[in-house]
Amino acid sequence: MLKIALAVAAVVAVVAVTVTNGVSTVINENTPTDESGQIRMASCNASLGPWEGGSQEKGAAEADRLTEEQRTTVANIIKIGRERKLPPLAWQIAIQAGMTESGLRSLDYGDRDSLGIFQMRPSMGWGTPAEVTDPHYAINKFYDVLLALPNWEEQRPGDSAQDVERSAFPDRYHNWEAMAAFLIGKEGDVVDPAGCGEAVGDFLLASNAAATAIEFTRQQLGEPYLWGGNGPDAWDCSGILVKAFGEAGVKIPRVANDQYMAGGAHLPVREAKAGDLIFWATNPAQPVTVHHVGMYLGNDEYIHAPQTGDVVKISKINWDYHELMPLAVRPGV
């Protein structure tokens, strides 16, 4: 693919970049890497899965529509993240936040006194109007706040973007997940921007994370149910699974219906294997009505945190129950 070298001028600084198919490459020897020399990713984003097929195509199509100004913002986000030795996950979170808040533009207007790439509000202590409309300041400020979050590397990128921005519409940051992953892949030369490894043809493989997730969940047997419980001593049905797969380096959404819709690869529920997630809904034809999730163990058994007054336990599944969702979810593949 033809690469054309050029200089892209930012609002306050000029960044030397290389454009590949409309995407600016700013990678160099300072990019965080692991012991094998590969760019360091935090963990698998199960909502994207292996980086091929639908998610990659969606991200590429969205990235291709970006303007030069938007590409410049992305280049600066990655350049500053690289200079600060932050992993690509941080770049992705900032790209998703910036695209959601301003369309990756340094705006001089916004809701109330919101300004700049991330629509930061001077009245809320983000900085002066001149500072928050300075891309270099705004990107660094975003990273500062992100790094202060205790679990930003353990959750879905859009959730971390929401934790920084504190929007009234938290789910909208997920809309740009595939595009942001594509951009860090192309601009940062990240081979596997989803962090989930490779798939094999059209077949779903048993998740490498399943054994770790099962073991963690079994260790919680007997602990009480608590609505909204995230541990370490009380859990709700979805919170325990977020933590279980997090132990295996796989990110899944926090709530049950999001786990069904964006928690990994789907497969017929009767073909579920140990470690797959199974779901129940008031109306199985409407995924938004999913209200419960458990982890299948095999032999018609599943482990779950059922309800208030109960504890984490293993139950027998009724395959004919009218609320059982028709698909299971395999995180991390």
Q: What is the CATH number of the domain that holds 222?
A: 3.90.1720.10
pLDDT score at 4: 27
* Tokens encoding 3: 């690469």
Integer Cα distance of 307 and 42 in angstroms: 32
What's the Rg (C-alpha) of the chain? 21
Residues 219 and 155 in one domain: no
**122 plus 265 within the same structural domain:** no
What would the mean pLDDT of 72-100 be, rounded to a whole number? 97
- 189 versus 278: the higher-pLDDT residue is 278
Note whether 313 and 221 are same-domain residues: yes
Q: Is 200 a residue whose pLDDT tops 90?
A: no
CA–CA distance, 91 with 300 (Å, rounded to integer)? 42
Q: Please check whether residues 180 and 220 belong to one and the same domain.
A: no
CA distance 174 to 194: 14
204 domain residue, yes or no: no
Q: Decide if 192 is inside a domain.
A: no
Residue 259 belongs to domain spanning = 210-330
Chain centre to alpha carbon of residue 299: 32
* Residue at which a domain ends, from 131, 153, 187: 187
Q: Do 111 and 80 fall within a single domain?
A: yes
Lowest mean pLDDT among 40-54, 205-219, 257-271: 40-54
pLDDT of residue 202: 41
SS3 199: coil
Position 158 pLDDT exceeds 90: yes
Q: Which residues have a Cβ under 8 Å from the Cβ of 143 and sit 6 or more positions away?
A: 80, 81, 84, 86, 90, 94
Q: Is residue 62 part of a domain?
A: yes
pLDDT at 25 over 90: no
Confidence (pTM): 0.72
Separate counts of helices (H) and strands (E) for the chain: 10, 11
Residue 218 lies in a domain: yes
pLDDT confidence band for 209 (50 / 70 / 90): confident
112 and 239 within one domain: no
Q: What is the largest CA-CA distance in the chain?
A: 63
Number of domains making up the chain: 2
What is the rounded average pLDDT of the residues 104-126? 97
Going by C-beta distance under 8 Å and a sequence separation of 6 or more, which residues neighbour residue 83?
30
| Co-location of 103 and 53 in the same domain | yes
Contact assessment for residue 47 and residue 156, using Cβ atoms and an 8 Å cutoff = yes
* Residue 195 located in a structural domain: no
Q: Note whether 20 and 166 are same-domain residues.
A: yes
In a domain, 201, yes or no: no
Domain identity same for 16 and 120: yes
Q: What angle do CA 121, 182, 45 make, to 5 degrees?
A: 80
- Among 32-41, 118-127, 297-306, the minimum mean pLDDT is found in 32-41
Any idea which of 12-16, 27-31, 133-137, 247-251 has the lowest mean pLDDT? Answer: 12-16
Q: Does residue 67 lie in a domain region?
A: yes
In the listed set 122, 153, 187, which residue is the last one of a domain according to the structure?
A: 187
The pLDDT of 102-126, averaged and rounded, is: 97
pLDDT surpasses 80 at 24: no
Which ranges constitute the DSSP H helices of the chain? 54-64, 68-83, 88-102, 129-132, 135-147, 157-165, 177-187, 210-219, 239-247, 256-262
Instruction: State the amino acid at position 138 in one-letter form.
Output: A
Asked, for residue 194, whether it belongs to a domain, the answer is: no
Q: Are residues 26 and 171 in the same domain?
A: yes
Same domain, 38 and 169: yes
Cβ neighbours around 57 below 10 Å, total: 12
For residue 270, pLDDT over 80 is answered with yes
Q: Which two tokens stand for residue 134?
A: 């300075």
**Residues 156 and 222 placed together within one structural domain of the fold:** no
Can you tell me the mean pLDDT for 288-293?
97
Dist CA 201 CA 188 (whole Å):
26
pLDDT tens figures, 29-71 = 344 454 444 444 557 888 888 887 678 999 999 999 999 999 9
Comparing 1 with 308, the larger pLDDT belongs to 308
